[in-house]
Amino acid sequence: MHFLLRVSIVLLIVLLSTFSSAQEKKKLLIVTFGNSTTAPRKGIEKVYAVRIHEDLNEAGIANNVINSGVGSNHSGSVKDNDSPKIEHAMDRFEKAVLSHHPDWVTLNFGLNDAYQDKGEGSASRIPLEAYIANLNHFITEIKKINGRVILLTPNPLSSKLEPFRHKRLKLYRNAVIKLAKSERVELINSWKVFGKYARKDPAGMEGLLPDGTHPMDTGHRLIADEIVKIIKKRNR
């Protein structure tokens, strides 16, 4: 009798362990891949990666979110442009994204790609066509491992930045919108999202982007809301 009881207890433990492991495997794995507008940043209470995790948990969707944002990153390799001399998106894509076998990946690049170091009329750090090719590569490789992509336009700039920088960045924004459509991936148009909010806020775009480029907490909240909305819709 005692022997049967012990066997039953062992079987129960095994079943519970198996069930627990199965539940763990069902967690959505999300990677946020981007630059300083994705990475943890001083002065930001919760970047959008943190907010995504919390919001999905509240919605009853078990998840893990890996923040693979790195400040100053462009979409290419250090060999393409070494300003600064760090691992850029193409250099670290395999280990920062693919190695995790994610269910979802958010791609948020463009601000550093479009940047003109030598001022008005000069070349961008990463030419537009190369930028498109880089994003296309990321999307293709993520799809190969059955991951889903959410493509974000680079966020807009505030009036603190010169008009020529706005004009150049618009080309990169437009390319992202077009690429999302041609590749049939999810899109978040940050210009549209931020613009809608700024029009209702007396502080305008300057309130969202106090340094002219980087979103403060409200901007991260807006992006997180859009990402969560997409994932909840597709996770039904």
- Predicted TM-score (pTM) of this structure: 0.89
For each of the domains in the chain, give its residue range(s) and CATH number, in order of start: 28-234 (3.40.50.1110)
Q: What is the mean pLDDT of the chain?
A: 92
Measured CA to CA in angstroms, residue 152 lies from 16, 24, 123, 142 at distances of 40, 29, 23, 15
C-alpha 108/C-alpha 139 separation (Å) is 12
E strands along 20-165, which residues? 28-34, 63-69, 104-108, 148-152
Q: Are 152 and 107 in contact (CB under 8 A)?
A: yes
Is the preceding peptide bond at 210 cis, omega within 30 degrees of 0?
A: no
Measured CA to CA in angstroms, residue 159 lies from 26, 166, 218 at distances of 45, 9, 18
SS3 content of the chain, % helix, strand, coil (to 5): 50, 10, 35
Measured CA to CA in angstroms, residue 92 lies from 40, 74, 140, 178 at distances of 17, 11, 16, 25
pLDDT tens track for 94-153? 999 999 999 999 999 999 999 999 999 999 999 999 999 999 999 999 999 999 999 999
pLDDT for res 107: 99
C-alpha 24/C-alpha 216 separation (Å) is 33
pLDDT for res 218: 97
Question: By three-state DSSP, how is residue 106 classified?
Answer: strand
